Amino acid sequence: MAITRFAPSPTGYLHIGGLRTALYSYLWARKTNGEFKLRIEDTDTQRNNESAMKAILDAFDWVGLNYDSEVEYQSKRLEIYQKYIDQLLEEGKAYNCYMSKDELDALRQKQMDNKQTPRYDGTWRPEEGKVLPSIPEDVEPVIRIKSPDDGIITFIDGVKSIMNFDSSEVDDFVISRSNGMPTYNFVVAIDDALMNMTDIIRGDDHLTNTAKQIVIYESLGFNVPKFYHVPMINNPQGKKLSKRDGAMDVMDYKKLGYLPEALLNFLVRLGWSNGDQEIFTMNEMLELFNPENINKSASSYNEEKLLWLNSHYIKNVTNTRLSKELEFFGCHLKGHDKKEMLLDLCKERAQTLVELDEAIKKIVEVPNEYEKKGAKKFVKEQTPKILKYYLNTLEENVGKLNIASDYEVITKPFIEEFGLKFPQLFQPIRLALTGSTQAPSVYDLMAILGFDEVKCRINKALDVNFNK
């Protein structure tokens, strides 16, 4: 039974890398009948922002990742953190450091000049027999934890296997700022321990933080959970994913017309695989996902694949669901008597809901103008006559015209009788019905619109001789 969490800092929107680790944590918890928690890491009061917090919750809601119990806010847990800071101070495992910002800057500069990695030099670290400097009056202290001064900090990562950090890489880092606010690495470790996390799945940009957090676990005698550090998502050129490549707010994917199941399916495969399977329903993800199989190398964002998955899901979800999703784009199909036919036709070609919406509007809305190039090519002297005869033929059979094949049965003999080629009839009809020659099958279009509307649109086009 795995207890996992997603722990975003509300300093910006939720991007797809974050959603991917949330999904992995969610799957692992649900698969093992464990718990999945959402914790908002909002102790950095200067960088937090309300709308980012809301965007995170909205994104979770949209993709349908449900979490157990209430959302935890670190800002409401400050007393708990203080208790552990006091305990560490009392036990001599942490100490006040009065080094001023100028002194710290000077130290860092000196180390860099000497080609050393900047690290705190232990000036205020109490040691037996060591005389500490006298406490300056004008400096509010920070609190630092005593990190081991020799040996290695080690843990087994579920993705990267054994990880070793020389203790020289982890200095006595700050656990509480001079304003009394505890720092990220401290509160994460406290919360993960107190919330009984068994498995921490997060981006591999946190690897060095993990070494620091292990120092805290060990100082407080907490059990160290299992860690899985997931490699980054890169752009197709192997560089860091930028906003232009797809590192957008998760909710932008909604605005671009992606279905949440397509996005989740895309994300589960970006960093994890099960043979060469590409399509995963949520149930299959739950059945097959295991963090031990997370890829060891970075993955590459592939927009075409996302579009391909999205068109798959657009074709495969129910029409009721599609019409509900389309409402977000201002497309209301509720009262449309041919709703099913319309969706069946348009969803075949749409890669996104935006494209689906456009395709539907192109049929439902009466055209106000006709594509010039198409009209020039396909509307000839005899076109009005052909169309009038054709409308008469349809009218004679109007009682038999319901579905696309009914129109086909009437149209084929008509074409033969008049010795026409299909485009001579069909392209002017497409133009009259939609304003464009790029529309889908004429039989489908006519079946959806119904004879009266077809007649009306054709007559309207004839009235202006397709010239508007």
Name the site residues for ligand GLU (rule: CB under 6 A): 7-9, 41, 188, 202, 206
Q: How far is the CB of 171 from ligand GLU (least distance, A)?
A: 20
Q: How far is the CB of 206 from ligand GLU (least distance, A)?
A: 6
Q: How far is the CB of 220 from ligand GLU (least distance, A)?
A: 17
CA separation for the pair 110, 106 (Å, rounded):
6
Q: Which is nearer to ligand GLU, 77 or 305 (CB)?
A: 77
Identify whether the C-beta of residue 300 lies closer than 8 Å to the C-beta of residue 238: yes
Pairing of strands 199-203, 226-230: parallel
Residue with tokens 């539907």: 360
Q: Which is nearer to ligand GLU, 24 or 313 (CB)?
A: 24
Q: Which is nearer to ligand GLU, 174 or 387 (CB)?
A: 174
Q: Which is nearer to ligand GLU, 5 or 254 (CB)?
A: 5
Task: Name residue 420's beta-bridge partners.
Answer: none
Q: Which is nearer to ligand GLU, 204 or 406 (CB)?
A: 204
Question: What does the buried/exposed string (b/e) look like for 444-460 if buried means 16 or more CB atoms within 10 Å of the residue's CB?
Answer: bbbbbbebeebbebbeb
Q: How far is the CB of 186 from ligand GLU (least distance, A)?
A: 12
Compute the C-alpha angle 6/8/13, nearest 5°: 125
Q: How far is the CB of 185 from ligand GLU (least distance, A)?
A: 9
Q: How far is the CB of 11 from ligand GLU (least distance, A)?
A: 8
Q: Which is nearer to ligand GLU, 41 or 72 (CB)?
A: 41
248: which residues sit within 8 A by CB, 6+ positions away? Answer: 13, 15, 16
Q: Which is nearer to ligand GLU, 12 or 440 (CB)?
A: 12
Q: Which is nearer to ligand GLU, 184 or 389 (CB)?
A: 184
CB atoms < 10 A from the CB of 58, how many?
A: 17
Q: How far is the CB of 137 from ligand GLU (least distance, A)?
A: 36
Compute the C-alpha angle 158/160/163, nearest 5°: 100
Q: Which is nearer to ligand GLU, 247 or 256 (CB)?
A: 247
DSSP string spanning 224-283? P-EEEEEPPEEPTTSSBPPGGGT--BHHHHHHTT--HHHHHHHHHHSSB-STT-----HH
Q: How far is the CB of 41 from ligand GLU (least distance, A)?
A: 4
Number of residues in the chain: 468
CA separation for the pair 181, 44 (Å, rounded):
8
Going from the C-alpha of 311 to that of each of 5, 282, 367, the distances in angstroms are 31, 17, 27
CA separation for the pair 340, 318 (Å, rounded):
10
Q: How far is the CB of 291 from ligand GLU (least distance, A)?
A: 14
Q: How far is the CB of 466 from ligand GLU (least distance, A)?
A: 58
CA separation for the pair 451, 456 (Å, rounded):
9
Sign of the C-alpha dihedral computed for residues 313, 314, 315 and 318 taken in this order: positive
| Residue 177: Cβ-neighbour burial (10 angstroms; 0-12, 13-18, 19+) | middle
Q: Which is nearer to ligand GLU, 52 or 145 (CB)?
A: 52
Q: How far is the CB of 8 from ligand GLU (least distance, A)?
A: 5
| Residue 334: Cβ-neighbour burial (10 angstroms; 0-12, 13-18, 19+) | exposed
Identify whether the C-beta of residue 59 lies closer than 8 Å to the C-beta of residue 14: yes
Q: Which is nearer to ligand GLU, 222 or 414 (CB)?
A: 222
